[in-house]
Structures are given as structure tokens and as C-alpha cells.
Structure 1
């Protein structure tokens, strides 16, 4: 999953805690890269807990849970989220871009020519 602000993708982690942060935006789980955390406020564009106001939310199995106070609520169904709201990098990187990236990586690793 890329950073929702800049589209950077995570690389293989080193030992220890990841510098990437998780959050929820428009009832969907997102990641924030270290660069965007320092350039912007880490929680400026994230959803907040209705009970305590914290941005430490996690979305799983159709629920959004606050990691600070434990408050849970149902997440909006993905088909009801407005088309402009889902998180994504600027420029609209989608599944097609990921497929192209994976194909290019496989070609590099397997030393094949460009996919046709």
C-alpha cells in the first residue's frame, strides 16, 4: 500500500519498528511515509475518533476502532464512499500502475526484455 499523500511505496523493512504510520481516511486504512509525516502534520487529513478526538484509528473487518480509547463504529461500505474520497497518491495511481510496476520488477529480476 503506498503513502496516501505522495504515493511512495514501502521498501523491505529493517529490524525494529517501522517509521511508516497507519491511519484511517474516509473509513479506509492508509499509510503515511516518514517524509510526509515530517513535511505535513501526520494526522492533518486523517479521520478522528468521535469519542476522544484521537487520530489513532485502525480500520479492519468493516469496523473503525480507536487505539487510544477503544471506541468502535461501523465503517462506511466501500461502495458508498464518494469516488473522490478514497485515499490514493496524487495523479491517481491505480491497480494498473501497480501491475506495470510488478511486471517491470519481474523483468529486471529475471533479466527478460520488456513485457509485450
Structure 2
């Protein structure tokens, strides 16, 4: 999944914790690259209990990692329910095909 702001894709991680951050935007789990994390206006959803943006989506629920509050994801938002698979980024299938061709030695 690419960064929701700039579209950068994760590379193979080095040992240790990933520098990428998870967040929730419009009821969907998103990733934020290290460069975009430096921005102050990430436009992420916030916890209605404590105001934190440290949210995660799973199985139709949104959980705050700061205070532990859990709520059901709203299905009336413009995006799919949390926990669902996001549509692939444009051009992703072409990149995957090119990578397979390189690995499999296809012309």
C-alpha cells in the first residue's frame, strides 16, 4: 500500500521498527511515509474520546491506540468499511507485471 499523501511505496525494511506510520482517514487504514510524517496537516481521522490520531482499523472497528476507545466503522462514509482491501493504486498491475518479468527472465 503506498503513502496516501505522496504515493511513495515502501521498500524492503531494514531490521527494526518500520519508519512508516499507520493512520485512519475516511474510515480506511492508510500508511504515511517518513517524509510526509513531517507535515503537520495530515488530515487524519481523530479519536472522538481523546482527540489522538493514533487510530487503527480492523474488522470493521476503529481503535484508538492512545486511550483504547473502540467504535464501529461508519458505513455511510464515502469509502469502504475499515478492514476491507483498498483498490490497487493506478499502475500497480503494470509494475507487478514488470517485476515478475524481471524475476522470471521473460522478454
Hey, which of these two has a bigger chunk of helix by percent?
A: 1
Partner of 2:77 in structure 1? 81
Asked if residue 66 in structure 1 is aligned to residue 93 in structure 2, the reply is: no
Q: Which residue is 1:112 aligned to? A: 106
> Partner of 2:46 in structure 1?
48
SS of the counterpart of 2:96? helix
State the superposition RMSD in angstroms: 1.8
Unaligned runs of 5+ in 2: 80-86
Gaps of 5+ in 1: 84-92
- Partner residue, 2:19: 19
Instruction: Report the CA distance between 1:26 and its aligned residue.
Output: 0.3
When normalised by structure 2's length, the TM-score is 0.84
Task: For residues 83-111 of structure 1, give each alpha carbon's deviation from its aligned partner in whole angstroms, at most 9, with x where no partner exists.
Answer: 6xxxxxxxxx9455221110011112222
The 1-side partners of 2:97 and 2:16 are apart by 30
- TM-score with structure 1 setting the length: 0.78
Task: Name the counterpart of 1:99.
Answer: 93
Report the count of equivalent residues.
100
